[in-house]
Amino acid sequence: MSFAEFEVRPPGAPAIRVPIEPLPFLIGRSPDNHLVLRDNRASRAHATVSATGGGLVISDAGSRNGIEVNGTKTDSHLLKPGDVIGFGVEESYTLVFHETSVDRTQTSHGGLRKLRSMLEVARSLAGALSIDHVLSAVVDAALDITLCDRGFLLLSGEAGLKVRVSRQSGGRPLPSEELGIPTSFLNDSLRGRSELLSMRFDPKQCLDTSVLNLSLQSAVCVPLIKVRVQEMSETAVVGTIADTIGLLYLDSRTDRGELTITSRDLLQSLAIEASFVLENARLLEQERKQQQVDQELRIAQAIQRDLLPDANQFPSSGWLQGAGLSIPSRQVGGDYFDLIPAGDDRWDIVMADVSGKGVSSALLAGLLQGAFVMSTAEQIPPAVICDRLNRFLLSRTDGSKYVTIFLASIYREAPMQWANAGHCAPLLLRPGGEAHELSPTGMPVGMLEEARWLDAAVQLHKGDTLLLYTDGVTEARRASGEMYGLDRVLAIARRHLQESPSILVDSIRADVAAFTGGAPQRDDLTLLAVRFDG
């Protein structure tokens, strides 16, 4: 008996054969079609195959990109054996039309329809039930195709192949221990092969007598391929065969002989389905882990936001006024700043920048905050605080993390005492626009045990402004790579010298944003400005 089928050639995956039934036969991206094209560029209803008096005709179903037969675009074509059908785009599915005569006793009209239904059920189950439930359905379908007695789905891991699903004919579960064949033997059989394998069974390969007593005669192995799915927009979903991630192993008490071409193609299709299910499960697990990480980072972000000072609580009047902000480049940042009252006639200020980015730097910044608050309460000189922090960090991080810090105690009626541990030199701006840099008095803390710091002093006068910043400000970049630089910071500071610290901080932030023009923020950006009116 003669019947028609398509040889379906997915991009980057093995070809399979699909019977053209029932008629009309629908082709497209929608899952309601008889042949589903996993390509976002295909239309939901792309083409149809219908019967006429002269044979089968393929017609465009009003698709966006049309159909091609043997490289020529057409609206309708009477199919002839060997015709190659395309779907109007490159690197997509191609179909080859065949008319053939084979023994259909094992692949009857009802059997193929049943198998197609099983595949659709397996595909739909992937999003609703457990992965093992779906893989069990795949193994059961493979047993129905081959009429084998037992089926095992094995996955590759660091220790080699391991049984994930084991079934026997009739949809009954089977203990995985009853595989009985060394997985190394199966792995050796797969080595160097990427096609379906048939083998005669050698009883000497058995691990135990329970399998030997089954008198197995033949086995079939179907490799499971690694499937990579690209992002979907206007591009196709492409599966590529890279290496095997496991295999579908089936065996029988009788010598099955060679499988028919149709059975081989259906088994290959099942293997691809299983590979898609496994890849979807992997991506889902990866997404769940990422969601967990994101949730933890959101919590960390909220905690860090609560720990950072509320700049709205900084003094806006009196003999000292202040304003500041910190914008992390990621969910959490490694910058820290604060302005803390230490009596009626003294304020302590700090700005720190922890090396690196992310959670580890944020945790270290939190530790620094606690250490600074405690030291302020004890009224310890800035250089002594640097020395203590240095010893603390070296004992905890072994020099793998370091911190740049600027510390200062501002007195109403005495010179400001300060120390700079390798931090960006703050700007001391006089009312007339004269600027002085408060350069480092020692290296960053946490680098060397023998490091030492010196205290320095400077007399502040009415109208003086102290501007602290991290290198996320001066090293902010345009898309072209040009850096913002200290000169721009100084120009904005001089322009707003007579205005409040909050206006000065907001002006610098706005100018940095305008300069970068939306380019990604590479580093945490932190600013602190204080005005002395004592």
Contacts of 478 (CB under 8 A, 6+ apart): 515, 516, 517, 519
Q: Reduced to 3 states, what is the DSSP secondary structure of residue 251?
A: strand
**% of the chain exceeding 70 in pLDDT:** 76
pLDDT tens digits along 43-102: 999 999 999 988 999 999 999 999 999 999 999 999 999 999 999 999 899 999 998 654
pLDDT at 33: 86
User: 528 with 324: CB under 8 angstroms?
Assistant: yes
Per-residue pLDDT at 95: 95
For residue 111, pLDDT over 80 is answered with no
Does residue 20 contact residue 48 with C-beta atoms inside 8 Å? no
Do 334 and 354 meet the contact criterion of CB atoms below 8 Å apart? Answer: yes
Distance CA 418, CA 441 (A): 9
In 126-208, which residue ranges form alpha helices assigned H by DSSP? 131-146, 183-190
Query: Could you read off the pLDDT of 251-273 as tens digits, one per residue?
Result: 887 665 556 666 777 777 777 77
Closest CA to 260 of 102, 470, 416, 458: 102
**Is there a contact between 186 and 162 (Cβ–Cβ < 8 Å)?**
no
Beta-sheet pairing, 35-36 with 25-28: parallel
Alpha carbons 122 and 138: distance in angstroms, whole number: 7
Q: Which helix (H) or strand (E) holds 532?
A: strand 525-532
For residue 381, whether the previous peptide bond is cis, meaning omega lies within 30 degrees of 0, is no
d(CA 90, CA 82): 20
pLDDT tens digits for range 189-247:
666 554 555 555 454 544 444 444 445 567 788 888 776 554 433 333 333 444 678 88
397 vs 21: CA distance, rounded Å: 69
The DSSP element (H or E) to which 406 belongs, if any, is strand 403-411
Instruction: Answer yes or no: are the C-beta atoms of 3 and 100 closer than 8 Å.
Output: yes
What lies within 8 Å, CB to CB, of 170 at 6+ separation is none
Q: What is the pLDDT of residue 93?
A: 92
Using DSSP's 3-state secondary structure scheme, residue 314 falls into coil
Q: What are phi and psi of 67, to 5 degrees?
A: -125, 155
**pLDDT exceeds 80 at position 300:** no
Q: Residue 198: phi, psi to the nearest 5? A: -115, 140
Instruction: Specify burial of residue 96 (Cβ count, 10 A radius: 0-12, 13-18, 19+).
Output: middle
Considering only CA atoms, which of 465, 464, 339 is closest in space to residue 409? 339
- Model confidence pLDDT, tens digit, residues 375-417: 666 778 899 989 988 888 888 777 778 899 999 999 999 999 9
| Cα radius of gyration (the chain) | 36
CA–chain centroid gap for 177, Å, is 36
- Which has the closest alpha carbon to 154: 195, 175, 192, 183? 183
What single-letter amino acid sits at 81?
P
**Cα 354 to Cα 22, 302, 323, distances in angstroms:** 68, 19, 21
In order of 1, 272, 338, 343, 453, the CA distances from 378 in angstroms are 98, 69, 16, 12, 19
**Per residue in 487-524, pLDDT tens?**
999 999 999 988 999 999 999 999 999 999 988 888 88
Q: Which of 169-173, 301-305, 509-513 has the lowest mean pLDDT?
A: 301-305
Cα separation, 190 vs 197, whole angstroms: 8
